[in-house]
Structure 1
């Protein structure tokens, strides 16, 4: 005979508080009646929960106001709203050359940002940690917030990370990011740190506020310097057994691709090849420092060499996306990263070629989030943690 557990009053109150908080995160100021309608709670329970959440600092009660100055009988309705400044979250993008940190409120609004370079790729773990910590403090100081007000941190790195937040350091480059960031920031600042792969966070970020908003089957490809992808399948972020889901080393074995170099690095390399020859092209004006942006701009002005490079890029991307589509069968593939600002011109030629490389061609889009895509995803990851654990967190906001 199975044993049926009985919900305790404390558990019921906790469930009710969670439901109220969930509703208020997606609402502006609300009345007790609106809370009752959204959650199914009785008036007495809704009032008790709101008063408890107010005392704990998660929500605030607004001053009672008559309806737009007109006469109204009875007591004005009590109105509550989420206190979005009850605490903050940090979203980090830790690359090989720099660290970027964004401070966000509890509605996901970015409030402050800081970025600092590393002295070199091969610096020690201690030096890398010092730069990350300093960047985080700069971002907090930019809005006058203290370290104690941080409820969670999520950091994206350019290496596979498993479900437990452990780095897969089976090659030297990935090992450069295995610096003990979680324990270091916990010891220094008392912060809870979530570690994640940068492309995975790009997928979270774009699904939250980008081209993939609301979709459940999406692949986001970080495509600037090296290809890497984050995969959302059925609304769930894929990690694989050791965090390697979405890694694109397979491209080294794909005909017509052969490596994992991204759009920006390929545009620079192919432009340099053209400049080494005798081709007549406006790109020679940038011979001392050719960048992908120069190639896209020259192509927009009808430069034949630049247009040929864009055609090669579209073919390469069609093969990359075709490979991804064959493996994961997403509804949408999003091109993300800083290069996305220019890559829109590639969408039409990619779409025309896709059917040659996969029998399940997805829609293709570019992310509107630019080089903020990873930090936006990191903020979303930190907010997810806070929202799942709100009733266990102690608020110490300024």
Structure 2
């Protein structure tokens, strides 16, 4: 039997491997001395210094003035730091009703945020133009040029396969199949990494949210439509066509029946109540206060609009309105069934409810957790996201940073003036 050929460990290959190892350590640490890098990597002093010199020349690392230590003997230690401004990344959330853009440095620190409403968009060209406007605004505020951007993570509310193609089997998903990635690249020049919004949400929660340190994690985007991002043993579950975590199966679940999220159901239930003039509720006064013909923000096509927003339903319940409290009990029961399906199918340790309704949905948690034990013997913990409306864009930043870390030694950095 013929053995497979073995690639020779050439000096150039070894240098590249060592550069990746050192860059990985420095990118997650603060200032490090040569001695500290030797201890962290197991490389020799000569190799550490030679490779750091290469990374300094490439722009990835900066060398700081030696620290003064009057008790030290001999030359002071060299001190190195990852150059977090060697380039920048974008995190872009393109939802049904709004786009949000974050500009971040290479440690993930947000430098600027902008957004645009997409609720009146009728054509793909209009959508692209508004996303472009938000990108330009964010870059301008951050003082970053297109040439300094190394990658942009972009989230859409549709399954995306590993090649960046949007699954168009569902009518709602087809709204996002606009070749937006190629359009943004042609406008700005940087690579666009298209991904499902819930997948990015779970990356964001694991990185900066409630899911830090939890490797078996699910994020339930619960605003207009339910969608979930799933992580197993720290690995994002993607599926052969990007469909892992999609929730069209909810149409088959008793007590759920569709993929409508918390915000939409809250409005629809409020509309049903207000249709009966004999029902006394403070929601009626709230509906009367809304301007005629206005609609709640970020609604999907086909939503039933009662004149009362989901936030107003939650606020009325917090004030003790019995009708609103009844709606919340109904929402909690329905959401508990949705969370239970995730607990049964993928057995996460934690399910995080995210999206625009996350903060208000905290009122549902006690009832959801109480009911979960009746549906599954392995109920997950449930929490609400602390990332607010930035949950997808934060995950998009993490997605872009993953790309940069993987391709760092092949990227050409643009030195700032």
Q: Under a length normalisation based on structure 1, what TM-score does the superposition of the two structures give?
A: 0.95
The separation in 1 between residues aligned to 2:170 and 2:262, in whole angstroms, is: 23
- Asked if residue 389 in structure 1 is aligned to residue 407 in structure 2, the reply is yes
Tell me which residue corresponds to 1:115: 115
**Equivalenced residues, count:** 395
Residues 233-312 of structure 1: pairs in structure 2 closer than 5 A: 233-277=232-276, 278-288=278-288, 289-312=307-330
Query: What's the C-alpha RMSD, in Å, of the aligned pairs?
Result: 1.6
Tell me which residue corresponds to 2:174: 175
SS across alignment from 1:342: helix
Tell me which residue corresponds to 2:30: 28
Tell me which residue corresponds to 1:339: 357
SS across alignment from 1:309: helix
User: Which deviates more from structure 2 when the two are superposed, residues 167-176 or residues 57-66?
Assistant: 167-176
- Asked if residue 370 in structure 1 is aligned to residue 388 in structure 2, the reply is yes
CA contact (8 A) 2:103 2:110 kept: yes
SS across alignment from 2:142: coil
Tell me which residue corresponds to 1:16: 18
The separation in 1 between residues aligned to 2:82 and 2:233, in whole angstroms, is: 30
Note the C-alpha offset of 1:290.
1.6
Note the C-alpha offset of 1:189.
2.1
The separation in 1 between residues aligned to 2:312 and 2:117, in whole angstroms, is: 24
SS across alignment from 1:142: helix
* Unaligned stretches of 5+ residues in structure 1: none
Show CA shifts across 1:236-291 (max 9, x none): 21222211111111111111111111111111222232233223222233113422
Tell me which residue corresponds to 2:227: 228
The separation in 2 between residues aligned to 1:172 and 1:396, in whole angstroms, is: 42
Aligned in 2, Cα 1:283/1:374: closer, same or farther, shift over 3 Å?
same
Tell me which residue corresponds to 1:59: 61
The separation in 2 between residues aligned to 1:217 and 1:52, in whole angstroms, is: 38
Aligned in 2, Cα 1:85/1:309: closer, same or farther, shift over 3 Å?
same
Show CA shifts across 1:121-177 (max 9, x none): 431x23322222222111101111110000011100011101111111123321221
Note the C-alpha offset of 1:98.
2.5
Show CA shifts across 1:19-78 (max 9, x none): 1111111111110000000001111110111111111101111122314xx565432221
The separation in 2 between residues aligned to 1:280 and 1:397, in whole angstroms, is: 65
